[in-house]
Structure formats: structure tokens, C-alpha cells
Amino acid sequence: MDERVSLTRWSKKHVTQGSNKNSTNMLEWNKRTVDSKSSSWESSETKCTIKVEREEAKLTAWENLQKAKAEAAIQKLVMKLEKKRSFSLDRILNTLRSAQRKAQGMRDAATASQDEHLCRKAKKTSHVTKNGQIRSLSGCFTCHAF
């Protein structure tokens, strides 16, 4: 570790003053350290990228799960509302049918009442024609009444 620190602290003058063998070794060593640093940087960058992608995949999966849950809840609510709607519609239609039956019963009763009333009138008129007398107020003041 000390060699590396001392080598990095040396200026260019010191490198050029050394022998060609030392300078070549130092340049190769510098290249290796730079290459190793860049490769370690790339690998750490790749690791970070993979980590970010994994997190993004987890978030996407969670989001899709939440969407599926929401859609299932909506479908459940729609089915429940449709069932209530059907039940309410049946109840209203039954009430309408009941009202129609009652109205028909009232019509039948009114018709029967009218028939009975007409029958009574017919009996009265037939009774008058049998006796031969027509009852009226004007008849009271004529000579028949005295």
C-alpha cells in the first residue's frame, strides 16, 4: 500500500529520471490500476443497474397486483349493484302487477254496480208499465188526485 501511495505522489520528473525498466513497470502498473478501477466501476455500475431494475420490477409487480385487486373489487361491486337492481326492479314490477290487478278488480266492481243499477231501473220501468200508471208530480194536481 505504501508503494502505491508513494508512486502516486511522485511527480513526472521522478518517473522520467528513473530507469526505463522502472518507468515501464510503473506505466503498466498505472494502466492496470486504472483498468481494474474502471472494470470495478463498471461491475459496480452493473450491480447498481441490476438492483434498480429489480426494484423497478418489484414496484411494477406490486402496482399490477393493486390494479388487479381494484378491478376485482369493482367487479364485485358491479355484481352486487346489478343484483340489487334486479331485485328492486322485480319488486317494482310486482307492485305494478298488483296495482293492475286491483284496478281490474275495481273496474269489474264498477261494471257490476252499473249493471245492477241498470237492472234496478229496468225493473222500475217494467213495474210502471204493468200498472198502467205513470207516476209523476203533475199527476197529483189533476183531477185524478181529488
Q: What is the mean pLDDT of each run of 10 residues along the chain (146 residues)?
A: 52 52 65 63 79 95 98 97 97 97 94 84 65 54 52
pLDDT at 57: 96
Q: How many CB atoms lie within 10 A of CB 18?
A: 14
Is the CB of residue 23 less than 8 Å from the CB of residue 15?
A: yes
Q: The whole model's pTM is what?
A: 0.41
